[in-house]
Structure 1
Amino acid sequence: MQGHGRCLTLFLAFALLQYVQGGEVDQGQRDTNVTGRCIEKERKALLAFKRGLVDDYNLLSSWSSEAQKQDCCRWIGVCCSNQTGHVIGLDLSYEVIGKDYLQGKMICPKLIELQHLQHLYLNEINFTGSQFPDFIGSLTSLRYLDLSWTYFGGKFPSQVGNLTNLVYLDLSAMFSICRKPLISFLN
């Protein structure tokens, strides 16, 4: 029994070491079109998404195409898979950026390039009544979606029903700027 305990201890130590080192795999297993750690197509999609935001306080200053800021996996609010380099999380919530001064003109459709996105937190970004994006239903890997206090307008898209992997959804106060009850948007 003592030998099994030692094997278990070694296994746990190895697993902890993998976790601390980020569980990185060798280059041969990663996607080929990677800038630093970031996948180029996804970096461009994030930059297009940023252009749909009003960032008067330069909260997203780490999001840039400058040479030293090419790795989108190091940008504030962006989380990438250690194994593949794909963007798996985008969190621009108050807790991450530290202030709620971001405003939105629109959510850029290029966001659908983030096909591995599992976590999307855009809560408290004021989209001032712009149309809720229909393409959000194409992000089928999403598990967590928080669009609370985003103030979208228009009808709530039925395509959201395609998000079959969701385990968390927060849409509270999303449509309040439109001065209509939420039920009228769903009909």
Structure 2
Amino acid sequence: MELKCVRVWLMLMLMFISFEGWMIEGCLDEERSALLQLKHFFNDPYSLLDWVEGDRNLSYCCQWTRIQCNNMTDRVTSISLSDARKYESGEWNLNVSLFSPFQELETLYLGGNLIADCVENEGFEKLSHLSNLKSLYLYDNMFNDSRILSALSEHLSLKYLDLSYNQFRELNHFNELVSLSNLEALFMGGNEINKIVFSKGGTSLRKLNWLHLWNVSISDGSSLLQTLGSLPSLNYVELWYCNISGRLPIHGLSVFQNLTRLYIFETVFHNNIFQMLGDMTSLQSIIIWDSNFDDVLFDQG
């Protein structure tokens, strides 16, 4: 019995020593190497100063700026590379497969880097195996077609997606996103969008509860209401610096069965939206600031 206890004790000690050694080693070699490779492309001289090769302490990437890791596994869970590329480097194509080694990645910030597209066959579809990826920030880049959205549609784990201030021109592109069944928040402001519609047959964005549209001009307000009204969980809509035109049904807002918060800032409606608010029985909070509403273009039907 005593011999058995000694063996168990020795085994526990060996496991502890092994674990301690692994923790001192820090982040995985594969992930550390991938981060150093990414640094060649995100080349702002002041952003990633401590991303260096060196001794064990210097190369512990979980302590690097813009990196967060799982405390138990030391795997990278968050990478923040927003505004990490020299503006003088100009537009470029991103090789998304460089992020493939980060098996536990949950949050990825890539905003403000003048990314125009992805390297051919190395787009966001290459990360569809990252089942923990919940938040993706791609704002303030140069994406301008539906290919990226088609690739993103494979990321079923996404809950938060920021595509604001790119160069999308039509949100038929929205149809590429309907498969994101877990998406809860979508930021699409600052794009050259004039119409938002879903394909016939509805949408699978059944968990989307927060939609932010910033600085867009919608030419068909009626279609916008029908589209947003088809989102069963939508309870928070923000319209900032928008221009909403087209004939709106006088009871057009009645489609919003669950909307609790409506924030409108410096937005022009070519209708008197106040006549429509009475249909929004679920509304709990409304802020309308410095916006313009006309009394014309109402459809009384």
Please say whether Structure 1 and Structure 2 have the same fold, judged by a TM-score greater than 0.5: yes
Mapped to 1, the partners of 2:135 and 2:17 lie a distance apart of 29
Which moved further from structure 2: 74-83 or 57-66? 57-66
> Match for residue 68 of structure 2?
79
Q: Give the drift of 1:91.
A: 1.5
Q: Give the drift of 1:38.
A: 0.9
What are the ranges of 5 or more consecutive residues in structure 1 without an aligned counterpart?
1-25
Give, as a single letter, the amino acid of the residue that structure 1 aligns with 2:31.
E
SS of 2:100's equivalent in the other structure is helix
Mapped to 2, the partners of 1:30 and 1:113 lie a distance apart of 23
Task: State whether residues 93 and 117 of structure 2, in contact with CA within 8 Å, keep that contact through their aligned partners in structure 1.
Answer: no
**Is 1:181 the counterpart of 2:169 in the alignment?**
yes
Structure exhibiting the larger radius of gyration computed from Cα positions: 2
Q: Give the drift of 1:149.
A: 1.0
Mapped to 2, the partners of 1:162 and 1:30 lie a distance apart of 38
CA distance 1:110–1:150, change in 2 (3 Å): same
Q: Give the structure-1-normalised TM-score.
A: 0.66
**Bigger relative contact order (CA 8 A; separation at least 6):** 1
**Is 1:150 the counterpart of 2:138 in the alignment?**
no
Q: Give the drift of 1:182.
A: 4.4
Q: Which has the higher helix share?
A: 1
Per-residue CA deviation, residues 41-82 of structure 1 (Å, 9 max, x unaligned), is: 111111122222232x33101111122421110111100011
CA distance 1:163–1:92, change in 2 (3 Å): same
CA distance 1:168–1:91, change in 2 (3 Å): same
Q: Which has the higher strand share?
A: 2
Identity percentage over the alignment? 24
What are the ranges of 5 or more consecutive residues in structure 2 without an aligned counterpart?
1-15, 177-301
Mapped to 2, the partners of 1:50 and 1:105 lie a distance apart of 15
1:152-167 matched pairs, under 5 angstroms: 152=143, 155-167=147-159
Q: Give the drift of 1:30.
A: 8.5
Task: State whether residues 141 and 163 of structure 1, in contact with CA within 8 Å, keep that contact through their aligned partners in structure 2.
Answer: no
In angstroms, what is the RMSD of aligned CA positions?
A: 3.1
1:125-144 matched pairs, under 5 angstroms: 125-131=113-119, 132-144=123-135
Task: State whether residues 90 and 119 of structure 1, in contact with CA within 8 Å, keep that contact through their aligned partners in structure 2.
Answer: yes
Q: Give the drift of 1:122.
A: 1.3
Q: Give the drift of 1:147.
A: 0.7
**Is 1:63 the counterpart of 2:51 in the alignment?**
yes
Per-residue CA deviation, residues 20-56 of structure 1 (Å, 9 max, x unaligned), is: xxxxxx6656895x6732111111111122222232x
> Match for residue 51 of structure 1?
40
Task: State whether residues 143 and 168 of structure 1, in contact with CA within 8 Å, keep that contact through their aligned partners in structure 2.
Answer: yes
SS of 2:79's equivalent in the other structure is strand
SS of 2:77's equivalent in the other structure is strand
CA distance 1:171–1:37, change in 2 (3 Å): same
**Is 1:111 the counterpart of 2:99 in the alignment?**
yes
SS of 1:156's equivalent in the other structure is helix
